[in-house]
Structure 1
Amino acid sequence: MLIPLALPGFALAAIAYLGFALLLGIKGAPSGTGRLFLVAVSVEAMWATTVAAAMAGLPVPVLLVSLAEAARLFFWILFLLSLLRAMGAGDASAPDSAQRAASGGMVAAATIAAGAVAVELFAFGERPAFIVHVIGAVFALVCLEQVYRNTGPDGRWALKFLAIGLLALFGFDLFMYSEALLFSRMNPALWSVRGYANALLVPLLGIAAARNDQWKTGITVSRQVVFHSATLFAAGLFLMLMAVGGYLLRWFGGDWGEAAQALFVFITVVALMVALFSGSLRARLRVLLAKHFFRYRYDYRAEWLRLTELLSEAPAGSVPGQTSRSAPQPPAASPQGRPGRNAETPPPQGSELLEIRALQGLARLVESPGAALWLSGDDGAYVCNARWVFHAETPVVPGADPLAAFLRSTQWVVSLPEWREHPQRYDGLALPAQIASEQQNWLIVPLMLHDQLLGFALLAKPLVPVTVDWEVRDALKAAARQVASYLAVRRAVESLVQARQFDSFNRMSAFVVHDLKNLVAQLTLLMANAARHRDNPEFQQDMLDTVENVLGRMQGLLMQLRAGARPIEPPGPVPLVAALEVALRSRRGSGPEPTLEVAPELQHAAVLAHRDRLERVIGHLVQNAAEATPPDGRISMRVQREGSNARIEVEDTGKGMSERFIREQLFKPFESTKDHGMGIGAFESRDYVRELGGSLEVESSEGAGSLFRIRLPLALATANG
């Protein structure tokens, strides 16, 4: 009843081995062993074709089938003996013995093959034929064992899959013919699946051919081809088993056989679809193939090109003002990299898209489902700039944090599971609590630019277990350096664009200075005539009109500049309270009016600054607070001493700012949320305070107001007093 199943199996084996033989023969075999391997594969294809033709009812003589079976056995044994002789020739201690053993084996193989033909030719019966085939299978297995035993540990990697394939091939024959000898008849079930079993061994022989430079024929098997071929092979094997199972259910199921077969086919098809669409299963298959079918886990050329292409697809719009119309958007990432984008949230653009693609490239190397990226800021701290399907907390890591110092000095990839189990391997490294406590956090990968730590990536635990060995660490470090170079280039381009914007700003200042010179000339002339015409009503009216006109024009110029030219003289002592009172006077009569609290010891203090620029900085902070605060709100100014510094705080109860706005826009030049703003005030204020050796910090949250904190060094006399 199972004989009809045998014909497709032998036909499949004939097609598989014929295709394999054609692939082997495209460029020719480089050695005698390689040529014998090609002949053995070709004879295997001829044998399967002959058996399939006989089972299809074609007029194929029984003797021809026996000849094909004998030739198949003979040439496989001949190939194994050729391998054994090559090993003996490479061993100077016993070349003669290896030659004699190989020659004796060839004689034995020829004798066994001739015996198989003679039994059929002279009609000795089935039992003698079974005995000869059992002897042939045993002899082939002995030859295979000798080849594998005499291969060194390094060479076994190349012969492993050949040994597995031929062990399965001759082991199946030994079992089938031994059972036939025991029961004096061939088992129909074993004969029916013999063709399928031989066809399934072609991938193993193909991998063996690709691994052996001495006798392969220029075959290279890429990981993508192996992955897709293995997937199709597994699916085909599954469908074949499904067909056999359905056939058996229908045959033995009686009245319920047809219904059971239909239900079985439905269930197995659904199971196959679930398996094919399973990301976890695909990840397991990739890891299995990389671990067991290749010398190295990664195809470095393919991985390098893939990562380069992925990063290059990010738009050149990592620079403000540039966009990309071709780069696809990464899935499931919000502006902060969080999953769950809705229709109202714009897709990531520019530098954020590049950062998300960088995370995808690193995560793909180790089958990680999510990642987050920390990059260094202007203050040296590392802030999470992007997330990709990452849900854990992302704290700010100061530049002096032990994690940053460790990554900077060692450039190691930190495995969090290993760090938890063996902290001594990382010299007792202390990690931020939010990163260490999350069990889904897996690897910390430093982004090194030469000896500079540009940032680091945190990868989530993969879908399947991945061993973090030397190869994984090296691949991640190499990919991280490439990512760091892309991010550094993006920063350099942004700095260049800002420099060009400043250059344009300076050119514009030249025209403004020219206008100011004209205004000064008007006022100079007015003052020169004032002494003589001060009592003339017409002159008084003309003077008022001129002053009003000059005032309007100067306000227009100030609206464009919002900051003056930097003085070249060094900073000097500036009375602090006097500078603050200038800002207070500018808001009198306009709500809300600021309040001022000065610590008693700082009533007569002075700070090292330039008076006009310090007044402009404080006035800018007060003006921003007033614009963000409703008329019934509150603006508070406080001055306290902090060591050798004066701490100036400007706090309001206005609408506040988001953490992202503070990080990405507040101090970025030429970006403003105001209709007539140029986005220079906050940038210039912080830049000037840093120039004086101080600092400007901001604390804010949306709907709860803002607090700007300036620290400036006190003048020496005040600091000592």
Structure 2
Amino acid sequence: MVNEDWPMNTQSGVIGWNAMTTPVSSTKYDYREKWLEITEVFSACHDTQEIYDHYFDWLRRTFDVPRITIWKRFNADGQFHQIRTVNSEDQAPPIVGTHSLIQRILANKGPFTIDEDGHEDDGLRELAQHTQAYICVPLITTQDGLLGFCTLSKGFDEQTYDHDDFDLLRVIAHHVTMLILQFQLVEEWSVRAKWEAVHKFSGFYLHDLKNLASSLSMVAQNAEQYGHDPDFQASAMRTVRNTSQRIIDLMAKLADESKDFDTDRERNVQAIDINVLIKETLETLNGEGCRT
């Protein structure tokens, strides 16, 4: 199934699909060039959604195939949902954690083809009907488990993938997974910081609101006994007017605090050490495939 003699199509810029009759001994990809490309692609990302977007675009540019999908595990239901797709006719149903594809992903932990025995498996056959998936690329780590995966179909001419394609997909998937984990940590930290800030100043505002509510409650209680007294009526009106103004001022101050917090959170951008990520990813190659 694997043809190792397909180099890069330099005329079209699409990698991996033009066959040659003469075998080549060098690797298909210039890994240094690929890392420069990947570094540039992901350097402007600010959240996980942008990472998925750029990863999806990179797959489309690099592999000229009719069908590509990206799947993500959602903690809410523990299922894998399709979040990006190219040319899928309809939305594929979610995949549960016990699905045969997930079991194969956990067993392989790297890119693998899924069509050889797919016809004998109902789950894989249904997935193939929706996505035409031929190869599956996990987004997985040892500590954090399976975050998601992507699938790619065969090429337009039914061309398959060689070992250089598998190496590139594996390395970039590892890089993307590390980026997703880092941004998830940043997002989780931001949520915790937000609620900690809310907790800190909510006590102060609740104390003020309690005092204001007590003033209005006292006016209401005394009105039953002194409501007919003109002096009490004038005093009550002043109290209500002053209290309502203090409530308005308090709400305005609370709104300003919220705006300041949102601005500070937007400015609190966490730097990512791209050199560390590159080093970790290159180590997954075990010294292979890094030739230029």
TM-score class, shorter-chain normalisation, is 0.5 to 0.7
**Aligned position for 1:35:** none
Query: How far, CA to CA, are the matches of 1:446 and 1:486 in structure 2?
Result: 14
**Aligned position for 2:20:** 288
Aligned 8 A contact 2:88 2:131 in 1: no
Classify the secondary structure of the residue corresponding to 1:441: coil
Note the C-alpha offset of 1:540.
4.4
Query: How far, CA to CA, are the matches of 1:390 and 1:560 in structure 2?
Result: 50
Aligned 8 A contact 2:115 2:134 in 1: yes
Query: How far, CA to CA, are the matches of 2:108 and 2:226 in structure 1?
Result: 80
Query: How far, CA to CA, are the matches of 1:292 and 1:385 in structure 2?
Result: 38
Aligned 8 A contact 1:369 1:461 in 2: yes
369, 383, 388: which one aligns with 2:81: 383
Query: How far, CA to CA, are the matches of 2:210 and 2:125 in structure 1?
Result: 57
Note the C-alpha offset of 1:375.
1.7
Pair 1:488-2:181 in alignment = yes
Residues 432 and 455 of structure 1: CA distance in aligned 2, closer, same or farther (over 3 Å) = farther
**Cα RMSD over matched residues?**
4.2
Q: Quick check: which has more Rg, 1 or 2?
A: 1
Query: How far, CA to CA, are the matches of 2:87 and 2:50 in structure 1?
Result: 15
Query: How far, CA to CA, are the matches of 1:475 and 1:353 in structure 2?
Result: 21
**Aligned position for 1:502:** 195
Report the AA paired with residue 394 of structure 1: Q
Note the C-alpha offset of 1:519.
0.7
Note the C-alpha offset of 1:358.
0.7
Query: How far, CA to CA, are the matches of 2:211 and 2:109 in structure 1?
Result: 60
Residues 471 and 441 of structure 1: CA distance in aligned 2, closer, same or farther (over 3 Å) = same
**Aligned position for 2:118:** 420
Residues 463 and 404 of structure 1: CA distance in aligned 2, closer, same or farther (over 3 Å) = same
**Aligned position for 1:317:** 46
Aligned 8 A contact 1:411 1:448 in 2: yes
Number of residue pairs matched by the alignment: 247
359, 363, 368: which one aligns with 2:56: 359
Classify the secondary structure of the residue corresponding to 1:397: coil
Residues 467 and 524 of structure 1: CA distance in aligned 2, closer, same or farther (over 3 Å) = closer
Note the C-alpha offset of 1:454.
0.8
Q: How does 1:5-404 map to 2 (within 5 A)?
A: 284-285=17-18, 288=20, 292-312=23-43, 315-318=44-47, 351-363=48-60, 366-368=63-65, 370-379=67-76, 380-387=78-85, 389-402=86-99, 403-404=101-102
Classify the secondary structure of the residue corresponding to 2:124: coil
Classify the secondary structure of the residue corresponding to 2:189: helix
Aligned 8 A contact 2:135 2:152 in 1: yes
Query: How far, CA to CA, are the matches of 2:66 and 2:246 in structure 1?
Result: 59
**Aligned position for 1:543:** 236
Identity %: 23
Residues 391 and 549 of structure 1: CA distance in aligned 2, closer, same or farther (over 3 Å) = farther
Greater fraction of residues in helix: 1
**Aligned position for 1:477:** 170
Classify the secondary structure of the residue corresponding to 1:431: helix
Aligned 8 A contact 1:375 1:456 in 2: yes
Query: How far, CA to CA, are the matches of 2:227 and 2:136 in structure 1?
Result: 77
Aligned 8 A contact 2:118 2:125 in 1: no
Aligned 8 A contact 2:17 2:64 in 1: no
Query: How far, CA to CA, are the matches of 1:465 and 1:523 in structure 2?
Result: 78
Report the AA paired with residue 441 of structure 1: A
439, 447, 450: which one aligns with 2:142: 450
Residues 306 and 476 of structure 1: CA distance in aligned 2, closer, same or farther (over 3 Å) = same
Q: TM-score, normalised by structure 2?
A: 0.63
- 1:259-310 alpha-carbon deviations (Å, 9 max, x no partner): xxxxxxxxxxxxxxxxx56x78x7544x539x82125444444434433332
Query: How far, CA to CA, are the matches of 1:288 and 1:360 in structure 2?
Result: 27
Give the gaps of 5 or more residues in structure 2: 1-6, 256-261, 263-292
Note the C-alpha offset of 1:447.
0.8
Query: How far, CA to CA, are the matches of 1:558 and 1:431 in structure 2?
Result: 56
Residues 540 and 453 of structure 1: CA distance in aligned 2, closer, same or farther (over 3 Å) = same
Note the C-alpha offset of 1:437.
1.1
Report the AA paired with residue 195 of structure 2: F
**Aligned position for 1:460:** 153
Query: How far, CA to CA, are the matches of 2:131 and 2:188 in structure 1?
Result: 38
Higher relative contact order (CA 8 A, sep 6+): 2
Query: How far, CA to CA, are the matches of 1:558 and 1:377 in structure 2?
Result: 36
Note the C-alpha offset of 1:483.
1.1
Query: How far, CA to CA, are the matches of 1:355 and 1:374 in structure 2?
Result: 10
- 1:465-517 alpha-carbon deviations (Å, 9 max, x no partner): 44445554343223211111112222222233333433443454244224214
Residues 399 and 470 of structure 1: CA distance in aligned 2, closer, same or farther (over 3 Å) = same
Q: How does 1:689-708 map to 2 (within 5 A)?
A: none
Residues 293 and 409 of structure 1: CA distance in aligned 2, closer, same or farther (over 3 Å) = closer
Q: TM-score, normalised by structure 1?
A: 0.29
Report the AA paired with residue 55 of structure 2: A
Aligned 8 A contact 1:372 1:390 in 2: no
